[in-house]
Amino acid sequence: MTARRRVSLMVTCLGDLFFPDVGFSIVRLLRRLDVVVDVPPAQTCCGLPLFNSGYHAEARAVAARTAELFRDSEHVVVPSGSCAWMVKHEYPGLLAESGLAALAGEVAARTYELSQFLVRVLGATRFTSAVPGRVTYHDSCHLLRGLHESRSPRTLLENLSGAELVDLPGADECCGFGGSFSVRLPEVSTQILDKKLANVEATGAGCLVACDAGCLMQMRGGLTRRKSPVRALHLAEVLDGGRP
């Protein structure tokens, strides 16, 4: 018998504060796959908002702390492509001269965005949909162009029992969130969002799926504002329809 896999959930600041249900969906999904899940206590944030705005000394302090929290983790699973990208792509450089270079490299190598972990590590592709009917998928920028992942989420959604995946025109185009960009240039951010949502509504899907809490905040915020019948959900919530 092989040892059960162990996953530490990096819930992220947005996941913790605004989307706690997403975190619990992930825990359920992983447990159903016989994975032991822990949540290292006293997590805050990966530091991406500081990093992207150019506050690198500050981001370094946050990154150092977060890397330490996951020092003993076998696998680190993250619900957002952007935070996973931060850990995998930026931690090693950011912490290169801090005495934590080796740790940063190890944590980076063990960190996965959720869909990647499910498909590429666990080989788990069969789930039951929590939202029957048509769903469509938005590629979040950091997952797509940062981590070069467009396949895993689609594999999961294509195989999802009870749901039908339809193509989103311009799926790979930004939703306009961009962290602080969304409030620094709110009009431009909203115009980009409006284009995205028009495409979403044209698909006829009842549910818009994304793998990033930032995009979800932006797109859900736009959908509910325009009283759209389309719901924006995190991939984990959609996969969480019970045992297949």
Partner 1 sequence: MVDIARRAGARMAVKSKSMATEEIDLNEALEREGITPVETDLGEYIIQLAHERPSHIIAPAIHKTKGQVAELFSRELKRPVEADPEELTRIARAELRQKFLQADIGITGANFAVADTGTVVLVTNEGNGRMVTSLPRVHVAVMGAEKVVPSMTDLMVFLAILAKSATGQKLSVYTTLVRGPRRAGELEGPEEFHLVLLDSGRIAQLGGPLREALSCLRCGACLNVCPVYRQIGGHAYGHTYPGPIGILLTAMLEGTGSVKELAHASSLCGACADACPVRIDIPKMLIELRREVGDQKIAPWIERVTFKLLAQVLVRPALYRLAARVGRVLQRPFARGGTISGLPLFLDDWTRTRDLPPVAARTFQERWAAEREAAP
Residues in contact with partner 1 by CB under 8 A are: 11, 13, 15-20, 23-24, 39, 41-45, 47, 49-56, 58-59, 61-62, 65, 141-142, 145-146, 172-174, 176-193, 217-218, 220-222, 224-225
Task: Pick the closer one to partner 1 by CB: 160 or 175.
Answer: 175
Minimum distance, C-beta of residue 54 to partner 1, in the bound complex (Å):
3
Return the half-sphere exposure (C-beta side, CA atoms, 13 A cut-off) of residue 20. 1
Q: Phi and psi at residue 240, in whole multiples of 5°? A: -90, 45
Minimum distance, C-beta of residue 16 to partner 1, in the bound complex (Å):
5
Angstrom distance (rounded) from CA 225 to CA 228: 8
Helix (H) or strand (E) holding 38: strand 36-38
Task: Pick the closer one to partner 1 by CB: 10 or 209.
Answer: 10
Tokens matching residue 69: 């929290």
Minimum distance, C-beta of residue 2 to partner 1, in the bound complex (Å):
26
Task: Pick the closer one to partner 1 by CB: 141 or 163.
Answer: 141
Minimum distance, C-beta of residue 159 to partner 1, in the bound complex (Å):
27
Minimum distance, C-beta of residue 67 to partner 1, in the bound complex (Å):
12
Q: Which of 33, 9, 28 is nearest to 83 (CA)?
A: 9
Minimum distance, C-beta of residue 154 to partner 1, in the bound complex (Å):
18
Q: How far apart are the first and last CA of the chain?
A: 23
Minimum distance, C-beta of residue 161 to partner 1, in the bound complex (Å):
27
Task: Pick the closer one to partner 1 by CB: 49 or 241.
Answer: 49
Give yes or no for a contact between 138 and 169, defined as CB atoms under 8 angstroms apart.
no
Task: Pick the closer one to partner 1 by CB: 182 or 203.
Answer: 182
Q: Tokens 């929290």 map to which residue? A: 69
Task: Pick the closer one to partner 1 by CB: 3 or 183.
Answer: 183
Per DSSP, the residues of 69-133 read: HTTT-SEEEES-HHHHHIIIIIHHHHTTTTT-HHHHHHHHHHEEEHHHIIIIIS-----EEEEEE
Task: Pick the closer one to partner 1 by CB: 45 or 210.
Answer: 45
User: Can you say whether the dihedral through the CA atoms of 211, 106, 54, 61 is positive or negative?
Assistant: positive
Q: Tokens 């206590």 map to which residue? A: 41
